[in-house]
Structure 1
């Protein structure tokens, strides 16, 4: 018997087609990319709310192009997972999400929020952004003149830091606020990908598209578009648009997961803790930083830089002492940042305090071309016409009118995880066999068949008239004629 590498390649091709076809079938048959209401209005109950059943599910789905099957697969697998979201950073989908009653969320700022504001799912996140330690010695000059490096604003974890007051003693107090969900917050939109990344390469396209459509729909011509930070503008518009639909807010991926909560009323969340944040220098009993200014007799040039050769001995001693303190505090800040990174990394396998209702997922996949390169795709590409953008927002409005219940949704991420765990090692092993050194075709064929035969046979039936069952080169025909699943 002679074996050929081409024959084995055909078998592997069938195996891949079966797997991808299965994903495609899942997408087309069970509504992974769906709208909130069925195309056939007869499927709606008398309550005007849709009921998805085994005998009408096809009325809720949108057919998906085969070329997009891997895109939807990867989007669902990466949902609410930090590292996978960074690997597929350009999100193109809106995932209906629920934050269950009793879930704790955190905010560090100078006051209790009264409008939309950011919350973190991990206290390390809020603590890292909210605790802005005073700077000592030469470093305090950099803070005073706006050279902040990676500093942040505690009132808004994503905003640029405001200039600190000239006198560090006048620094306002920061508070660590802990909120608890007072009910199931069942109208969140989770934005996939690295959706908190402030870039122009597509990570914020889901927010930008929604903001642009909202501006036109609500005729928002005087909402400070040119004066406000982009993401605060997006959040303000999204919350204003979503209010009639009961939108709770949006969820984004940063180092960890952050929530933009639209309404801090008692019906949504309750404040369970408010603590004054203690500065490290206060805890260690250190004095406030020395104010380095011309008014205090320090030699500064016209740009506010120290003139080192004009320093007095006392000033040199002060700088030496405070520069040493600043160096010690840099270690504290490094550990503080590391704690935030570690807290975020804990959710590489999923943020399980947030639940997804896949039934009403609204996606740009299959509406416009999605590049296979996860770093080179865009939601707002030339194929995403204004009409398509309006359709997506209309679908979101229909979904929000219904509300989300993750307990009624198939856990597609779990199903896809099982596919990867089961078949990724198989495909990798087959690839290694087919690309092994040497040209012993019979050995390659036998080894590859040993791995693939047991995959195909359980879902195939014998072909009538085939005396010897499914021979090696007939395996392709077996799978093609299979009456179940293939």
Structure 2
């Protein structure tokens, strides 16, 4: 007679998951959900990538770590929202220009003379949002999705052509009544097409002039691989401005630390709350129907995913889908589901618990194998408890209850959402949620198979089980690749910021080293000023 553990491991439990057909053309790719509860995900499936994208929208931290954006979506800014524009003169722009969400971001564009315009949205502004660090003026992929929208293919040589870019984007958006575009660098920004449409000036303030220093610009940034060399000859900074009549003491300097600090307010969920995503129109390049990109991603870490190898056919598919989405003059006909909140709930539920599980499984955490196995069993049960019913346990001798754990764990968030009310874009998100949960639940249940009767097992079997569990947790966390696990540990002191060394404020010599590190506010300010003196 087989043991309970052997019987479960041989169980081909069918969870009855639906086929995950993805929107696209007649050549679309379909990945079918595993029919056996313990089947691993298809290597080319993108459930976890779509999930990560949706759960990270409008959050600065994940979009800094994974700077090559893969999603374009409709968004709005509500009437009554205040935005800021800093410049060197008192002229209200009559051509497309940039707006900041926080004063600190706009203030850095004042330079010597300083005028800051605050504007209020007089109606809901219709926007396009690009995820990733789509305002990073560097090669390697951050601007690829913008390029495909307006030029069909990525054009890395045009990274510094921002005036051309904003004009082309506004021309693309005009037939769809698009007011502007939201991107992110070290903070979020709005590329507004027409200051006279949908906004009204609240204040136009002549602020205290800003002293940006008198030191000469050098080519310091060229020593690293983060940024492209300047496309124009560095200029000497302007002469220090004269203080206004009645001013005493030093003039204010450009305080880049406060720009980064303001950006960090939106690091994690809920992110930049002044922008509202229309999830019924989320268009992602992680749609596996884009077969040229599926092939390009194989064997590549997520940080190296980009759109440079997109085929003409796939580029046309995405542009057509975007045109269809933005042709909807009102919010899409979807089910009104807040997919962002659903993904945030899942990340909150499992991220810290998986970290704790990983810690409990470390060999150095316990000296007693029994205590360790029991502690891990408790943690696994904590995560699976909502899906283990007394009726199922009562019938545990026939082993089918283990498959039901995976089924209910994977589908509880989405099972009652009517599929017929969803747009093709929402169906892709739904499948991504279920596919991501299936892998979490599958791994936890495989561990539960071992842990169910571990308390009565021999020390040798406990040690073997602990070894298997370490592998499961490590592989699961690597597959999920949630940005909440990429952090400064230990946390930074009050005089430092947790910083990812990327454009434009770098620290280090390797462009792919995205390890967060604590950096003093003074040092980070020096780096920021150095970069601005070179490129402004």
TM category (shorter chain) comes to 0.5 to 0.7
Q: Is the 8 A contact 1:180 1:271 kept in 2?
A: yes
Describe the SS at the equivalent of 1:415. Answer: helix
The change in CA–CA distance for 1:345 and 1:433 in structure 2 (over 3 A counts) is closer
Structure 1 residue 263, shift from structure 2 partner: 2.0
Deviations 1:395-428 (A, max 9, x none): 1111111145499742222222221221123222
Q: Is the 8 A contact 1:97 1:189 kept in 2?
A: yes
TM-score where L is the length of structure 1: 0.60
Q: Distance in 2 between matches of 1:208 and 1:82?
A: 21
Describe the SS at the equivalent of 2:108. Answer: helix
Bigger RCO (CA 8 Å, 6+ sep): 1
Q: Is 2:393 the partner of 1:413?
A: no
Structure 1 residue 233, shift from structure 2 partner: 1.8
Q: Is the 8 A contact 2:84 2:116 kept in 1?
A: yes
Map of 1:459 onto structure 2: 387
Q: Distance in 2 between matches of 1:204 and 1:238?
A: 12
Q: Is the 8 A contact 1:357 1:409 kept in 2?
A: no
Q: Is 2:305 the partner of 1:377?
A: yes
Map of 1:114 onto structure 2: 94
Quick one: which of 369, 386, 395 aligns to 2:312? Answer: 386
Describe the SS at the equivalent of 1:252. Answer: strand
The change in CA–CA distance for 1:255 and 1:226 in structure 2 (over 3 A counts) is closer
Structure 1 residue 467, shift from structure 2 partner: 6.8
Q: 1:463-474 counterparts in 2 under 5 A? A: 469=396
Quick one: which of 163, 168, 184 aligns to 1:253? Answer: 184
Map of 1:176 onto structure 2: 116
Uncovered stretches (5+) of structure 2, i.e. residues with no partner: 29-41, 215-234, 241-248, 411-536
Map of 1:160 onto structure 2: none
Deviations 1:429-448 (A, max 9, x none): 33334443589765554333
Q: Is the 8 A contact 1:256 1:343 kept in 2?
A: yes
Q: Is the 8 A contact 1:250 1:260 kept in 2?
A: yes
Q: Is 2:264 the partner of 1:338?
A: no
Deviations 1:82-116 (A, max 9, x none): 12211221111102211001111111223221121
TM-score where L is the length of structure 2: 0.55
Q: Is the 8 A contact 1:71 1:372 kept in 2?
A: no
Map of 1:204 onto structure 2: 143
The change in CA–CA distance for 1:337 and 1:439 in structure 2 (over 3 A counts) is closer
Q: Distance in 2 between matches of 1:372 and 1:435?
A: 28
Q: 1:32-51 counterparts in 2 under 5 A? A: none
Quick one: which of 428, 436, 444 aligns to 2:363? Answer: 436
CA RMSD after TM alignment: 4.3
Map of 2:279 onto structure 1: 358
The change in CA–CA distance for 1:458 and 1:177 in structure 2 (over 3 A counts) is closer
Quick one: which of 266, 279, 290 aligns to 1:347? Answer: 266
Deviations 1:274-319 (A, max 9, x none): 22243157xxxxxxx9xxxxxxxxxxxxxx99xxxxxxxxxxxxx9
Report the number of matched residues. Answer: 343
Q: Is 2:129 the partner of 1:190?
A: yes
Q: Distance in 2 between matches of 1:425 and 1:478?
A: 27
Map of 1:448 onto structure 2: 376
Q: Is the 8 A contact 2:72 2:283 kept in 1?
A: yes
Map of 2:59 onto structure 1: 81
Describe the SS at the equivalent of 2:119. Answer: strand
Quick one: which of 121, 125, 137 aligns to 2:105? Answer: 125
Uncovered stretches (5+) of structure 1, i.e. residues with no partner: 40-63, 134-172, 216-224, 282-288, 290-303, 306-318, 320-327
Q: Distance in 1 between matches of 2:373 and 2:358?
A: 12
Deviations 1:116-147 (A, max 9, x none): 111111111111112x12xxxxxxxxxxxxxx
Structure 1 residue 239, shift from structure 2 partner: 1.0
Q: Distance in 2 between matches of 1:66 and 1:460?
A: 31
Q: Distance in 1 between matches of 2:380 and 2:192?
A: 50
Map of 2:326 onto structure 1: 400
Q: Is the 8 A contact 1:177 1:274 kept in 2?
A: yes
Q: Distance in 2 between matches of 1:454 and 1:102?
A: 44
Compare 396-405 and 234-243 and name the one that shifted more: 396-405
Q: Is 2:25 the partner of 1:94?
A: no
The change in CA–CA distance for 1:411 and 1:275 in structure 2 (over 3 A counts) is same
Describe the SS at the equivalent of 1:114. Answer: coil
Q: Is the 8 A contact 1:96 1:357 kept in 2?
A: yes
The change in CA–CA distance for 1:410 and 1:470 in structure 2 (over 3 A counts) is farther
